[in-house]
Structure formats: structure tokens, C-alpha cells
Structure 1
Amino acid sequence: MRGSEERGAGPVILVTGATGTVGREVARLLAGRFPLRVLARRPERVRITGERVRVVAGDYADRASLDRALTGVRAAFLVTNSPVEPDDERFADAARAAGVRHLVKLSAHAVADPGADDFVTRRQRDNEAAVRASGLDWTFLRPRRFMSNTLSWAGSIRSEGVVRALYGLSPNATVDPRDIAEVAVRALTEPGHEGRSYALSGPEPVSAAQQTAELSEVLGRPLRFEELSRRQAREQLLRRYPRPVADALLDSAVRQLTGAKATVGNTVLEVTGRPARAYRTWARDHAAAFAA
């Protein structure tokens, strides 16, 4: 473990996934405001520090490490990624035994879509069911695709000035991970969010081709969009994910092609009091990642 024991008044909040896109931002927003504990498989990768921050080494499959991390915790932010391990059930069981009162879980927008029946969505539904069955108070965050996913284009933009993606004209109401994190922090620190499922989107649906054009304007250089075939997209996905996950992502892309992911909601505004950020804002704030 690294850092000092939590200091100061107030209940301890635990954050998992703090080396990832949303969890890192949740931890950053909480650090300095509340006693914060961070559970990480690799504590050396956690970049959040502070007098009231404590980083604990642990793994969802290691119950003893969960017990150590959850002792004295009032609320926890839960991020799980394994498509096969029962990590949500493991964490919820340990949280209940430790006296945790509230779990805020990062889930997925498709969970509430009856037309979505791919492998990943079914697993997310099972994970939500495990948290509900724990008897703890819960809040589910169900975001659309992260705007930060376009960071995967950075290499080809820097070297070729090209973006390659599947179904380039299909719209998705993508959401800024910072907005997801702000909703998570509200749910963790304010009353009234228990038993709520929050569908989170950006302010407008955008396609990959539109995102390419906006990145071009932000960077001040021409960029070209090239459409991938389904075969090419599958080959790329299989380099990063197990076959069931890759196939699920392809099925999800087909649903996006039909407009199933274009719906915009006002949840970010309703929970935080300010509108969701547009993709152009995200791109401007992260332009350095794409710079040649």
C-alpha cells in the first residue's frame, strides 16, 4: 500500500478502477475532499496522491484483500472488466460483510435496451443483478460509448493523418468520461441517488466521420476517414479482446448502424447542474494526444 491513512472527518469512500478512464477521474475529484481509499491490482500505477488518500493492493479474486480494503468504507465506486469472472458478486459480498452502505457501479447503456442481446450486455445485466441481490443500496451508471475511445486513433492520425473505423456514418451519443465521473461523485457523496439507474450521454449523436472532421478542425490539419470492412474491424478487435467480446462489439456496432445508440438524454445536467460536454470540447482538451 502507498500513502498515509485517511485523515480528517467524514466517511471513507473506496474507488476501484483508478488506473482506468473513469475511475481515475472519480478518484481525482474525490481526493482532497473526502477520505479516499483506492483498491488497485498494481498500486504503483495509481497517480492519485494526497494526505487523505490511501492506496491498497488487492484483487477481486482475493477475498482477504477486499476485506482489508473495505474496512470502514461507507460508499464504493465499482468498476469490473472481466467477461467471465464473477467480480461484481465477489465485491458486493465483501462490501456487505464490511458494512458498506452504497455501491455506485459503472455499467453500460445497452443494459436497458431490450434489443441488445450480445455477450457483453448479458454479462452487464448479470453483474447488475448481483449488485441488486447483495441487499446494499446501489446506483448504476449506464454510459454510452466514451469519447476517449477515439484516443485509439491517435497513432494513425499522427503518422498518416487517417482515421479508420467501422460504419463511419452511424451515430452514437458519446459521453465525456469526465461527465460520468462527476455523476459518480454526486452519487457517492450526496443522498437521493440510491436505487437509481442513470443513462448517460453526450449532448448530441456523432459519427466517426464527424468526429474525424472535428478533430481535423481542432488540430488545424487535414484528416481523412477510411471505412473499415467488418472483416478488418474484427481482425483489429481480436488483437485486443477474446473472441466472445470481439463478436459482441461487432454486434453492438450493427445496432448502432440502425440508430439504436443515437438517443440523447439530460441526466448529466439533471445530476450535476450543467450540460454534458460536447465531443469538440473533449477533443480540444485532449488535442495534445493527437498532435504529430
Structure 2
Amino acid sequence: MSLCVAVAGAGGTVGRHLTALLAADHDVLSLTRSPERAARLGVRGRLVRADFDVRDGLVRALEGADALFVATFDPADPRHDEHLLSAATTAGIRHVVKLSALAVTDPGAQDLVTRWQRECEQLWQGSAMTWTLLRARAFMSNSLSWAGAVRAGEPVPTLYGDAPNACVDPADVAEVAAHALTGTGHSGRVYALTGPRAVSAREQLAQLADLLQRPLKLEDLAAHQALTRWSARYPLPVAQALLESAGRQAAGAKASVTQDVLQVTGRPPTTFETWARRHLSAFR
């Protein structure tokens, strides 16, 4: 049965994959702050301008949608989920799939970002809609931040380069989301999404080196150096949260692997090598 599915955060890492998966069989409302940028990125569906800072206009943007995917990105501003929830309730949306993070299950994770993710989960769980939560480990695509250094032949700066992380392909997360949005049996379910095994940044870089057929070097950062770099890109509380998260990874908190991608999609999760092979042009 064809549905109308709204994707909030359609221009994001998971949203772009999701709109492509849904567009063949469903009507897709791709909500984005900048439809022009979304068009350049190849986002599929009907591009709908939406500002999550402002509730006004979101009800109109969601009109006619049966289900909603939510990916929000500002831990310093909880209004985004609040506004989307209010608008979705008014618009009569029946089911929501919320992108969250696996860190919410770690009692030791009390940083700003993880506390915000827990609050967002509770918000949607307390709504009148049915819901599905997708708790993802770090995205394999985060390694795209290395592309400039790799192309220039420079060392890749990394904090705790030997710390394992069961990172996941965002395309796998999108495929799980598509099933949860359009299939049955997903209401009230919480899916923990990881890759097939934990890999460190050093291992990822070694796999990239093999594929590129040239040596690559990793530069080990001290914690204060990493904080300085992150503070140049993010507000200080977010940068501090990233530092706390990296510390938990170094302690092994992100190494466990789940089978939920296989359970939902019927296929094993993508390996980092496979992901890297598909994105190798970014590093050349």
C-alpha cells in the first residue's frame, strides 16, 4: 500500500538515503530548511521548506502524511522535536520513527548530547502516536571528515585512534527506517543499529590505504588538542560532549555489536570496507 511519508531532516546523512528508498513506491514529503541545497544533494520526493525553530508552518508542511521520520541535530535547542511533535499531532500523523543514538543505553553517558537524545525519545514515547526508535552507533560516513587530509597526503588527526567502535553505514539505518515507516510490526520497537564488527580509526585508515593502494598515516591527538579542534566547529558544550563520548569509546563502551539490521532488513549490516569502497572517490 502506498503511503505519504514525511522525512524531517531530509537533507541529512540518513534522510538523503531514506528519501531515495521511499520515493519509488510512496509519496515523500522531504522537509528541509533549504530545498535548494537539498536539490543539489539529490534529495528525492517533494521538497518542502520547513524551519523546525518555528512551529507555525510545520502543520501545513505535514498535511496528508501518514508517517513521519524525525532526525534533529541541535542538542542545545530541544524545541525542534517539541515543534515537530505538536505539528504532527495536529496534522493527524499516525506513526513516527525517531532517529536516536545507542549511547542513551549507557548509564555512564551523561553528556549534553546524550541527555538531549534521551529527552527526545521520552517526548515521542509519550505522544499519542505509535513510535519506533532507531538507536544508531556512530556513522561510517564520519570518516569523510578525513577526506581532505587523505587527498593532500597529510596525517589524519584522530583522538584515541585504537578505540573500537561498531560504526554503522547510514544507508543501513535508512533501510531500517524505511521498513519501520511502511511495514508492520514495528510499533513500540527499539532497534539498536551497529555494523558487523567494531573497528578503530586506525583499522579504518588501514582499509582505506589498501583500497587506495598508498600509505596513510594517523596523527594521535591529545584530548586538549581534540577539544580545541571541535570547539572551532561547535559550541563549547557540544565539543565537551564529543570529548566525553570519545572517552567512553576508549574505555570500550562502543564495541558491542547487535543483530537488529539483519533482523529488520533480512541482510547483514554493511562492513566498513564495503562502505569505503563505495565512497572511495571522496578520498582520491
Displacement of 1:187 in angstroms is 0.3
Gaps of 5+ in 2: none
Structure 2: distance between partners of 1:11 and 1:202: 29
Letter in 2 for 1:12: C
Residue 118 (structure 2) pairs with residue 142 (structure 1): no
Which ranges of 4 or more aligned residues in structure 1 deviate by more than 2 Å?
47-50, 61-64
Number of aligned residue pairs: 281
Within the candidate set 216, 221, 224, 2:214 is matched to 221
Following TM superposition, by how much is the alpha carbon of 1:111 offset from its aligned partner in structure 2, in angstroms?
0.8
Q: What corresponds to 1:188 in structure 2?
A: 181
Verify: 1:266 aligned to 2:259, yes or no: yes
The answer to whether the Cα contact below 8 Å between 2:163 and 2:250 also exists between their aligned partners in 1 is yes
After TM superposition, give the deviation of residue 11 of structure 1 in Å.
2.6
Aligned to 1:104: 97
The residue identity in structure 2 corresponding to 1:76 is L
Q: Deviations over 1:148-179 (max 9, x none)?
A: 00000011111124221000110000000010
Q: Which one is further off, 98-107 or 54-63? A: 54-63
Q: CA deviation at 1:62?
A: 2.4
Greater shift in the superposed pair: 59-68 or 134-143:
59-68
Say whether the 8 Å CA contact 1:31–1:49 is kept in structure 2.
no
Question: What residue is the counterpart of 2:4 in the other structure?
Answer: 12
Alpha-carbon RMSD across the aligned residues, in angstroms, is 1.2
Tell me if 1:75 matches 2:67.
yes
Cα deviation, residue 82, structure 1 = 1.2
Residues 93 and 134 in structure 1, CA contact (< 8 A), matched pair in contact too = no
In the TM superposition, residue 58 of structure 1 has moved relative to its aligned partner by 1.3
Aligned to 1:3: none
**Structure 2 vs 1, CA of residues 49 and 214 (structure 1 numbering), >3 Å: closer, same or farther?**
closer
Does the 8 A contact of 2:161 with 2:220 survive in 1?
Answer: yes
Q: What is the one-letter code of the residue matched to 1:234?
A: L
Candidates 56, 59, 63, aligned match of 1:64: 56
Counterpart for residue 114 of structure 1: 107
Q: 1:174 aligns with which of 162, 167, 171?
A: 167
TM-score when normalising by structure 1: 0.94
Contact 1:164-1:227 at 8 Å conserved across structures: yes
1:95 equivalenced with 2:77 (yes/no): no
How far 1:65 moved relative to its partner? 1.6
Can you list the C-alpha shifts for 1:177-231, whole angstroms capped at 9, x where unaligned?
Answer: 0100000000001011111111100000000110110000011111011111111
- Give the whole-Å Cα distance in 1 for the aligned partners of 2:217 and 2:106: 33
Partner of 1:5: none
Q: Is the 8 A contact 2:112 2:238 kept in 1?
A: yes
How far apart, CA to CA, are the structure 1 residues paired with 2:155 and 2:202?
A: 11
SS at match of 1:240: coil
Deviations 1:122-151 (A, max 9, x none): 000011111112221111111111000000
Return the offset for 1:73.
Answer: 0.6
- How much has 1:13 moved relative to structure 2? 0.4
Which structure 1 residue ranges, 5 or more long, are not aligned? Answer: 1-8
Taking the TM superposition and a 5 Å limit, the aligned residue runs for 1:253-292 are: 253-291=246-284
* Length-normalised TM-score, structure 2: 0.96
Alpha-carbon distance, 1:64 to partner: 2.7
Q: Which amino acid aligns with 2:114?
A: T
Distance 1:59 1:210, change over 3 A: same
Q: Secondary structure at the match of 2:135?
A: strand
CA distance in 1, matches of 2:141, 2:43: 23
